[in-house]
Structure 1
């Protein structure tokens, strides 16, 4: 019987963010993806973008597809509903993979979140432009990784209902994801792009918080490393899944 993989996209994206991985892994696994609230057919509409509702979405996917257990692979903010679900429903999660994951450790990243949460007095487009440039800062004038991320995030961020990105900042400032991560016992692969400097700043105690985590970096990649170098990510993830399967078989 095939195992299941559920892919969870990040903010401003949609379920197509993992198309290449979905197509590759569907031969050996049942693969699923879905649109986070406010990112699919309801894009631009006001939604209840609460963590409870985001976790409920995942619960409903399990129920609707008849999934008993699955590997969860989440991009960026997707690590929030993914982690919370895994701590709530431990027996339903085989493993976790986070790409560009981050959490509430004092860092330059969270200083940016705090600053833009405290400065909401501009129109949304102006605020979004400044916020986008801040979360994807350029290392130098030739930093095409950040330039591309800025363009994509701003373009699709404008299409979202204005409260969604604000609620996402609020979640990351107020919800103690770090405590949830410390409770996890399932295998965890944490993948970051080599040039994702700002988001990596929140991971200074990752090995202390999750001693069994497998940390990998993808060279020549920015924040959404699976999009920059899909084949490299595919190889890393496949190796992780195969290793998990071998260890599981050995245990039994």
Structure 2
């Protein structure tokens, strides 16, 4: 594997020509999709990958990347994997910050994206979120990054029912080094300008938003967005928080697989 190619793993279906690509969020890894594999493998070819600095891609870019990350460079990493595997187009499933990367990919290479399933989608940071990001940005050089990550995990996923999701993301974040955390944290400060552009420019790709009813930081902007964008749909999962693919895997799988099957070639 190339030293600048993301770590990835594929699962081949014996007959299907359809590919599904899973994109995790900041601080996670492809391991967060373990509750999706069995259901999805019955229908599609699967591609799981670890974003730069995450999981088993944590050392791939140390000698290559010196500058702060951008959503464009992080997204281009995925395009390189698609090219390497000769996957011309696919359905994309993302969670949290991974949903922004998928949306960026749809902007850069719309012909590569058949559908988008965006779980726990981040479409705008509210005032509270912006204050947290700014405070964290000021403190990131003096406070151990795991302290900050635990704080954000508890703020985004505060409820008892979200304990599994919270612990999963905290454990995955331990694999990040301090430098990588700072790069991705800086990337979060670019969310609002980018998402403002996305809200103003709808694209004709079928999109399903899967949001937990208790995802109090992010569900309201999604409700506003689907009212104005064609081919965008929202399914709200009751009594569920931010990481809905972990908290409500059966419902997540059913709704997302049905959506993809309806829009496959």
Contact 1:69–1:91 (Cα < 8 Å) also in 2: yes
1:104-123 correspondence to structure 2 within 5 Å: 104-120=124-140, 121-123=142-144
Alignment partners' CA distance in 1, 2:180 and 2:145: 11
Range 222-231 or range 199-208, more displaced:
199-208
Give 1:21 shift: 2.3
Other-structure match for 1:177? 195
Q: 3-state SS of the aligned residue for 2:84?
A: helix
2:225 to 194, 206, 215: 206
C-alpha distance 130-18 of structure 1, shift in aligned 2 (>3 A): closer
Other-structure match for 2:261? 242
What RMSD over aligned residues (CA atoms) do the two structures have, in Å? 2.5
Range 10-19 or range 93-102, more displaced:
10-19
Q: 3-state SS of the aligned residue for 1:183?
A: coil
Range 163-172 or range 53-62, more displaced:
163-172
Alignment partners' CA distance in 1, 2:182 and 2:161: 24
Alignment partners' CA distance in 2, 1:125 and 1:3: 38
Residues 33-66 of structure 1 deviation map (CA, whole Å, 9 limit, x = unaligned)? 1111111224378744442332122111211111
Matched, 1:54 2:74: yes
Other-structure match for 1:82? 102
5+ long unaligned stretches in structure 1:
none
TM-score in terms of structure 2 length: 0.80
More helix by share: 1
Give 1:131 shift: 3.0
1:150-169 correspondence to structure 2 within 5 Å: 150-169=166-185
Say how many residue pairs are matched: 241
Give 1:68 shift: 1.0
Alignment partners' CA distance in 1, 2:136 and 2:220: 18
C-alpha distance 113-22 of structure 1, shift in aligned 2 (>3 A): same
Alignment partners' CA distance in 1, 2:220 and 2:182: 21
Other-structure match for 2:89? 69
Alignment partners' CA distance in 2, 1:22 and 1:42: 20
5+ long unaligned stretches in structure 2:
1-15
Other-structure match for 1:94? 114
Matched, 1:224 2:239: no
Other-structure match for 1:132? 153
